[in-house]
Structure 1
Amino acid sequence: MSDDPEGSAPPPSERAAIRARLAGERAGTEERIAALERDFATIVEANALVAVDDEHDPDGSSTAFERAHVASLLAQAREHLSDLDQALDRLERGDYGRCDHCGTPIPPERLQARPAATTCVRCAALP
């Protein structure tokens, strides 16, 4: 556990609740990834036997858009899963809830809304 001179690390009783919330969000994100992977595979499979000419086929551009959209959502979900894993690591080290940029505690309301947040509201708003 890291040194915590300001006492901002969550107490053990609160850590269990935070861990459970992060684990629940992680499980939900894994389910979302699995669903998006199925959706992506379905799109690819549906178009595998069709010679789609995106430029001239009226459905080609919408199919390409749909495939790109699902791929983007899948990438975002995988990134969120990584963020949650890092949040769990920070919790174990005693660094959870502290801004990576300025070191101040992240408000509980922000952590409730974004459990994997690494910055306080002020630092998150910086360009």
Structure 2
Amino acid sequence: MTMTPAQLERFTARLQAERADALARMAGSDSAMSEVRAAKAGGVADDEHDPEGPTMTQEWSQRTAVLADVTAELHDIDRALARIAEGTYGVCTRCGKRITVARLDARPTAELCIDCARLVR
């Protein structure tokens, strides 16, 4: 069963909203990383012996990980939006079968049907 135009429109709107949210989180992450970078460069905090909180290295690592997660999320969203534009959204990229609407509701960036997703784990 192919996806209806209304379903495609719903998924497009959802993915675009998720993209806007991810871009906002990325902007916040960039700002937070700039703060940590400035604190490290200015020698404002003792990077190794601050008993009151995390070290600058910890802060940098955490914020870098958050930025990497958001970047990957944006990549997945953009690929899903591209599949919608190409007319291949909802088709498993591995086996070519339809991805169920229920799976796409749970994970709108899914590229694999549930059977193929189980195989790649």
The TM-score range, normalised by the shorter chain, is 0.7 to 0.9
> Aligned equivalents of 1:81 and 1:22: distance in 2?
10
How many residues get paired?
118
Which residue, 11, 18, 31 being the options, matches 1:25?
18
Contact 2:45 2:56 in 1 (8 A): no
* Equivalent in the alignment of 1:43: 36
How big is the shift at 1:24? 0.5
Q: Quote the sequence identity (%).
A: 34
CA RMSD of aligned residues (A): 2.1
Q: Which amino acid aligns with 1:32?
A: R
Q: Which has the higher contact order (CA 8 A, sep 6+)?
A: 1
Q: Give yes or no for the alignment of 1:16 onto 2:9.
A: yes
Which residue, 68, 78, 82 being the options, matches 1:89?
82
5+ residue gaps, structure 2, are none
* SS of match in other structure, 2:55: helix
Q: Give yes or no for the alignment of 1:62 onto 2:55.
A: yes
* Equivalent in the alignment of 1:4: none
Which residue, 61, 82, 92 being the options, matches 1:99?
92
Task: State the TM-score, normalizing by the size of structure 1.
Answer: 0.81
